[in-house]
Structure 1
Amino acid sequence: MSIPTSVLAELLHAIPNWRPQMYFKSSLVALSHAMEDQVLAGEESPLVIATFQRERFYRQEAHRYRRIARRTEQVYVLSAPETDFQNQSGEYEMIAFDHEDALTQEWHLVVIAQQYANCLICRERTPQRESQRNGMDSNRRFEGIWTSDHRVCSEAAKILLDRIVQYRPELAEKLAEAKATYLSDSSEALPSAPQQFPTTNPDPFVNRLVNYLQVGQYKLMKAYRAIAAQEQKERLIHLMTVAIRRSLDPQKILEVAVEQLGQVLGACRSIIYRCSEKDATATIAHEYLQSNITTVQGETWLLQQNPFFQMVLDTRESLLVKEVTTHPSLAEANPSITQLVDQAGITSWLFVPVLYQDRLIGMVELHHCGSCPEEWTKDEIALVEAVANQVGVALIQAESYENLEVLNQQLEELDNTRSNLVAITGHELRTPLSTIQICLESLASEPDMSLELRQVMLNTALADAERMRTLVQDFLTLSQLESGRVEWNPEPVSLDECVELGVSHIRAHTAQSECPNLKVSVPDNLPRRGRGTCSRVGRRWSRRRRV
Structure 2
Amino acid sequence: MATLYLIALLIGLGVGALAAFVLMGRLAAGRAELERRLRDLSVLHEASGILAASLDLDKLLDSILKLIKREFGFQHLAIRLLNERGHLEVRASIGMDRDYIEATRIIPTRSTMFGRAFLDAKPVVVRDTREAPPSSHYEMLRRFIPVTALVHIPMIHEDKPIGVLAAYSTRGPEKFTDQFVALLQALANQLALAVVNANLYKQVRSASLVMEERVRQRTAELEAANERLRELDRLKSEFLSNVSHELRTPLTSIQSFSEIFLRYDVDDLAKRRRFAEIINDEAQRLTRMINDLLDLSKIEAGKLEVNLQPVDLAKLIEKSLNSTEALFSKSSLQIERQFDKNIPMVFADPDRLVQVINNLLGNAAKFAPDGSTITVRARWRGRFALVSVTDEGPGIDPRKVKEIFDRYTQLRDPRKHQSLGTGLGLSISRDLVERLGGYIWVESSPGRGATFSFSVPLVEQ
Q: TM-score, normalised by structure 2?
A: 0.49
